[in-house]
């Protein structure tokens, strides 16, 4: 990936100066100049997050508020989640679907009481905003361009954040609360993208650098870049939109049916419901699975997967060496009849077909605070 320093078309987050001060290597990502790694390096950053606490700048993500009477019911017309049943102070994972049942984007939805707070993927933020405005004409939709977003992840995240905001110690996984820090209103959820316990923190952009420095001053907290963020989420079996899920994959194929509750399966009423409900009943033609390559060489995105007869039956969507798993890890799609864990396949790497076994996900157990 090319260095993005000299590209004036790239946006910068409010923490850009701090990243460069800390020695980050900056690269283009989703239209932003972002830190891919710090001097610690991707491998050590990954392991540090698993052992202590990693601080991630995710301010490139889109943040939105939705307001109005019946806003939860309205959003259910675009997202196959139970949003009317989402309690105040709780957060839920969901996705926008299209008429073919494909996933336009995945997102987090929090009930703030007076509004729904959405966090969407950076690369899809503009399209998501247009999708919401087209689909929800009676809803007030406010992009939050004046707020930054940080993620603090790892087994020492609670201790570090609680030293600044003691009330976070009482939060459990997927709680979402508004809490004060030095006069600033922070919107904090106990969630993340690493499989570890941790928090995501939306805060006024003007206060982001001071707050980031305060966290970095806490024992065990280190800055972490996009490289480790990707290897952490891959070990945790979490999807990256544009790689593992996209407008051509359904939630059933993607093994995300846990996010579609019984109430929505019974009623439908969301884009692509006929396709998704049919696949729920009859099974999809392919499934997202974990993959465990043999040996030490990773199988990366795009690697074709074959059965013993030489027929291509799938492909890898994400793959790397897993520092915590201490072996190559991957995920991808295979034809449904080859999706059973333990199935042996062959992945074509540089013209050679190498053994790979279908495995369960995640590759590394989740450690959420439930």
Question: Can you list the domains of the chain with their CATH numbers?
Answer: 1-283 (3.30.1360.120), 285-370 (2.40.30.110)
* Confidence at residue 5, expressed as pLDDT on a 0 to 100 scale: 53
Averaged pLDDT, 191-207: 98
**Residue among 53, 94, 91 nearest 245 (CA):** 94
Average predicted confidence (pLDDT) for the chain: 97
**294-305 pLDDT, tens per residue?**
999 999 999 999
> How far is CA 288 from each of CA 165, 231, 314, 318, 330, rounded to the nearest angstrom?
39, 18, 10, 11, 11
Structure tokens, 6: 């000299």
Q: CA 358, CA 370: separation in Å to the nearest integer? A: 29
How many CA within 13 A on the CB side of residue 125? Answer: 20
Q: CA 38, CA 224: separation in Å to the nearest integer? A: 7
Quick check: 331 pLDDT over 60?
A: yes
Averaged pLDDT, 190-208: 98
* Confidence at residue 4, expressed as pLDDT on a 0 to 100 scale: 47
**11-30 pLDDT, tens per residue?**
999 999 999 999 999 999 99
**Count of residues making up the chain:** 370
* Confidence at residue 6, expressed as pLDDT on a 0 to 100 scale: 60
């Amino acid at each position: 990936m090319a260095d993005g320093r000299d590209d004036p078309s790239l946006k910068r987050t409010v923490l850009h100066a701090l990243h460069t001060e800390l020695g980050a290597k900056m690269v283009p990502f989703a239209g932003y100049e972002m830190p891919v790694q710090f001097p610690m390096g991707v491998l050590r950053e990954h392991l540090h997050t698993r052992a202590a606490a990693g601080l991630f700048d995710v301010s490139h993500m889109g943040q939105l508020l939705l307001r109005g009477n019946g806003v939860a019911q309205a959003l259910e017309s675009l997202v196959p989640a139970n949003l009317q049943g989402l309690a105040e102070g709780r957060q839920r994972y969901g996705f926008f679907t299209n008429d073919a049942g494909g996933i336009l984007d995945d997102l987090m939805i929090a009930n703030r009481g007076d509004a729904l707070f959405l966090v969407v993927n950076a690369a899809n933020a503009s399209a998501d905003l247009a999708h919401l405005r087209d689909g929800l004409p009676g809803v007030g939709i406010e992009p939050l361009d004046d707020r930054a977003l940080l993620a603090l992840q790892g087994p020492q995240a609670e201790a570090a954040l609680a030293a600044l905001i003691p009330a976070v110690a009482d939060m459990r996984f997927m709680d979402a609360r508004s809490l004060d820090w030095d006069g600033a209103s922070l919107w904090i959820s106990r969630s993340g993208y690493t499989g570890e316990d941790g928090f995501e923190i939306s805060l006024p952009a003007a206060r982001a650098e001071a707050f980031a420095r305060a966290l970095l001053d806490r024992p065990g907290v280190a800055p972490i870049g996009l490289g480790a963020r990707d290897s952490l989420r891959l070990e945790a079996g979490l999807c990256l939109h544009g790689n593992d899920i996209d407008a051509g994959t359904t939630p059933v194929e993607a093994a995300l049916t846990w996010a579609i509750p019984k109430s929505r399966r019974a009623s439908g009423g969301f884009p692509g419901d006929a396709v998704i409900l049919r696949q729920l009943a009859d099974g999809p033609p392919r499934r997202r699975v974990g993959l465990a390559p043999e040996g030490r060489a990773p199988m990366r995105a795009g690697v074709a997967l074959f059965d013993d007869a030489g027929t291509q039956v799938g492909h890898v969507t994400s793959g790397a060496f897993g520092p915590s798993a201490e072996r190559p890890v991957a995920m991808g799609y295979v034809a449904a009849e080859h999706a059973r864990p333990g199935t042996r396949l062959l992945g074509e790497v540089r013209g050679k077909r190498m053994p790979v076994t279908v495995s369960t996900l995640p590759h590394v157990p989740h450690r959420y605070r439930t």
